[in-house]
Structure 1
Amino acid sequence: MATPAFDSSVLTRRGVLAAAAGSLLLAGCGQQSDDGRTGDNSAPNSHELVIGASLELTGKGAALGVLQQRAMEITVEELNLTGIPVGNLRRTVRVEFRDNRSDPQEAARQATELTRRTQVHALVGGTSTENSMAIVEVAQKLQVPFVSLAAGDDIVLPLAQRTYIYKLTPDAGDVARRMARLIESLGIRRVAVLAAAGLHGDSGVQAVRSALRDVDVALVRTVRLPASGRSFTSVARRTTAGEPDGIIVWGTAPDSGAAARELRRAGHRGPIFFDPGAVAEDTLSGANAAAVEGAYAVHPSCLAASTLTATTTAELARRDFTYRYIQRHGSFSGFAPYGSDAVQLLAAAARSASSVDRGRLRAYLQTQVTEGIAGGYAFAPIRHGGMERDSLAVYVVSRAAWSRYS
């Protein structure tokens, strides 16, 4: 099977950022020795590209974290069939997985251990914003590239303080604008927002307010989910008070599906709109199925990859990845490809840099203008949040499955 190949021919903002990335390519690169080390700042010489992954494999975040481990394992196996050319070596990829138990303190501890003791070349992980932010502090301090799998615009901002940090998920503003256009097209005039506690919800609330103003849709109230994750009954009642035409649920699985269920119990019969964090098997599970039927989600276009009409390199790669994932795990989740793309992006950076030196990996990550499994990325020295807005699409839940909405 073909490994996912990135297509850099898309003529959007990606083309502009590619040129910008090239002009500042080696800014901040360390002095590379023959074995790819920069003082104490890189892993010892080996024939591997070693990635440390701190993921939510248990605890509240497991609905998303487990998907990433599955995707990374599939992609590593595929890459290691031939290895990746890095300078005059052909390296295999090894991922050191850690379960952060959905605990930011544990995520930070693991990032430190992986960087200092295991001496990984790069870090990946944090499907929750809080866990990613904990890893950010360690990665930036120890100067190891970190590819975040979480949503939340502050993960890569301010850029001057996030020089080693990259984010794969779409920016909240891009998601909110796509969602606002959908809401307007459906003739909905009054909307309420039920948002997660914490940084992910903060980004969503701010983005939704701005996007709804642009389409002249009234935001009648904003309610936040309890940080404890306990009963959503009271917040659902507050959200549905005044009978808004539609409700935006901005959160992550498993909270998204549970929130939709409580909104229906509280009497909401209008449409529900999800951000990409809701797209996991849990949201469509038996307990939530009736509540989310007919709900909409804005999500990267990988969610409904066609096995019949794939023609481009990127589409074929998506089809092959989806096939392997379903073959191994029985069903496919649209959130899974971020882990695959993280591995591919780091492998591509190592190929381009001819090195696994951390400083050079960081510099060559910001040249990646590519089409991945989840969508298109356009990293540059001025932009470390790479998911492109033209990768987003609208989906609707139909018969317990995500279907492309047109």
Structure 2
Amino acid sequence: MTVLASACMALALASGAMAAEPIVIGVPVIFTGPGAFVGEAEKNTLEMLGEELNGKGGVEGRPVKFVYYDTEGKPDVAVRLFKRLIEKDKVTAILGPTASWEAGPVKPIAEKEKMPTIMLASARAIVDPVARWVFKTPAEDRIVVGRLLAHLKASGLTQIALASSQDGFGDGGRKEVLEQAAEHGIKVVFDERYTMEDADLTPMLNKIKKTEARAVVNWSSSRAPIVFAMNYKQVGLALPHFQSHAFLAKTFLDATGANAEGIMAAGQKFEGGRLLPDADPQKKIITEYQAAYKAKWGKDANQFGAGAYDAFKILVAALRKAGTDPEKLRAAIEETRGYVGIGGVYSYSPSDHGGLTRDSVVMYRVSGGGWQLLK
């Protein structure tokens, strides 16, 4: 057989393999509204990874195909589209939804329909109580709050004012702060909630100024942290200012500008990847992903795309191990042990579908217009 004939046969075999039935993966995330930048990063990441995987022959010769839907950040839309992915699109697995307030209503559907699902939201309620068919990649609020409260205690900031948004994300963070405060020696002297639609939070912040608080913690996402940060400076609050891990994105820094200077937050290592010691196994993965994303899309990656990265890698490893049978695939995801990802080192188990420990979370401070690691 000539070299040319061999090359043609290899090409034909590769083409035949990629003509095999695709593995369809559903991706219901936010593409419109204030959270559109989140869904964009998730989609861009999956497109980049899917293209790379398919270029190497896919999964056992089968390409992956994504079906994207815009949940608009609305729970009812997320529920409808989640059902559509299962009933009409016949997906093998689902990566999403994006937001914690969407995840709650969707969780029982995944369980009822026995759909392997890796969510891209962080609320503890997604995995506690454990649902057999539901996993997630972002660090849950329980872990992030624990790291934040430990920092507050170590800093002597034991009296705090707590503000939070009235939604799944804000409620989850608030619940964790209130439940964990005492064990960390923290006293919550102010606790007030607001809606994500509130455009002026100065009345609440002025009330905080009259309390005995020594630090302020805000737990919200979407555009709410931006409003909070801008109003914080407007009322002249000089107390140490802490935001949730949702704030750890360049989008928020760009929107708040100098008003973000000094803000602190606990979160996963993504934003500080370049600052990690070389011995940290996550550093190489984080920095390579950031470089590849920038080269592909001409813009910076964010932690939300990073969550999609880990979810896809975990799913593909499970597909290689177990194939597309739902129960076998679910079990293979649950058997993930020691996967070093962007978000941390993941080890799922029958009693833990979050897979991360507090070691995956670090403290940040905005300095010079960017996030810096706190020791």
Instruction: Give 1:148 deviation, angstroms.
Output: 0.9
- Which residues of 2 match residues 244-255 of structure 1 at below 5 A? 244-255=213-224
Secondary structure of the structure 2 residue equivalent to 1:362 = helix
Q: Contact 2:334/2:353 (CA < 8 Å) preserved in 1?
A: yes
Secondary structure of the structure 2 residue equivalent to 1:244 = coil
Counterpart in 2 of 1:121? 92
Mapped partners of 2:291, 2:313: distance in 1: 18
- Which residues of 2 match residues 21-32 of structure 1 at below 5 A? none
Counterpart in 2 of 1:150? 121
Q: What residue identity is the alignment partner of 1:240? A: K
Q: Contact 1:83/1:93 (CA < 8 Å) preserved in 2?
A: no
Cα offsets for 1:129-176 (capped at 9, x unmatched): 1212232232222111111111211112322xx211112122222211
Is it true that 1:74 corresponds to 2:74 in the alignment?
no
Instruction: Give 1:231 deviation, angstroms.
Output: 2.9
Mapped partners of 2:52, 2:370: distance in 1: 28
Cα offsets for 1:186-205 (capped at 9, x unmatched): 22232111112122222212
Q: Contact 2:28/2:78 (CA < 8 Å) preserved in 1?
A: yes
Secondary structure of the structure 1 residue equivalent to 2:46 = helix
Q: Contact 1:57/1:100 (CA < 8 Å) preserved in 2?
A: yes
Cα offsets for 1:315-354 (capped at 9, x unmatched): 322221110122223223233200111111110110111x
CA change 1:395–1:200 in 2 (3 A) is same
Q: Which among 134, 139, 144 is matched to residue 165 of structure 1?
A: 134
Cα offsets for 1:24-67 (capped at 9, x unmatched): xxxxxxxxxxxxxxxxxxxxx95422210001110232242222
Instruction: Give 1:219 deviation, angstroms.
Output: 1.1
Is it true that 1:240 corresponds to 2:209 in the alignment?
yes
Please provide the CA RMSD for this pair: 2.1
Q: How many residues align?
A: 355
Q: Contact 2:20/2:63 (CA < 8 Å) preserved in 1?
A: no
Secondary structure of the structure 1 residue equivalent to 2:301 = coil
Instruction: Give 1:208 deviation, angstroms.
Output: 1.3
- Which residues of 2 match residues 313-328 of structure 1 at below 5 A? 314-327=282-295, 328=297
Counterpart in 1 of 2:168? 199
Normalising by structure 1, what TM-score?
0.82
- Which residues of 2 match residues 5-404 of structure 1 at below 5 A? 46-85=20-59, 89-159=60-130, 162-242=131-211, 244-286=213-255, 288-306=256-274, 310=278, 314-327=282-295, 328-353=297-322, 355-369=323-337, 370-404=339-373
Mapped partners of 1:347, 1:49: distance in 2: 10
Give ranges in structure 1 of 5+ residues lacking alignment.
1-44
Cα offsets for 1:204-252 (capped at 9, x unmatched): 1222123332232321111112243443233333333325221111111
For the pair shown, the structure with the greater C-alpha radius of gyration is 2
Q: What residue identity is the alignment partner of 1:59? A: G
CA change 1:308–1:238 in 2 (3 A) is closer
Q: Which moved more, 1:357-366 or 1:253-262?
A: 253-262
Structure number with higher relative contact order (C-alpha < 8 Å, ≥ 6 residues apart): 1
Mapped partners of 1:332, 1:398: distance in 2: 20
Instruction: Give 1:69 deviation, angstroms.
Output: 1.5
Mapped partners of 1:218, 1:247: distance in 2: 12
Cα offsets for 1:63-95 (capped at 9, x unmatched): 42222122222222222221344xxx3222221
Q: What residue identity is the alignment partner of 2:57? A: G
Q: What percentage of residue pairs aligned between the two structures are identical?
A: 24
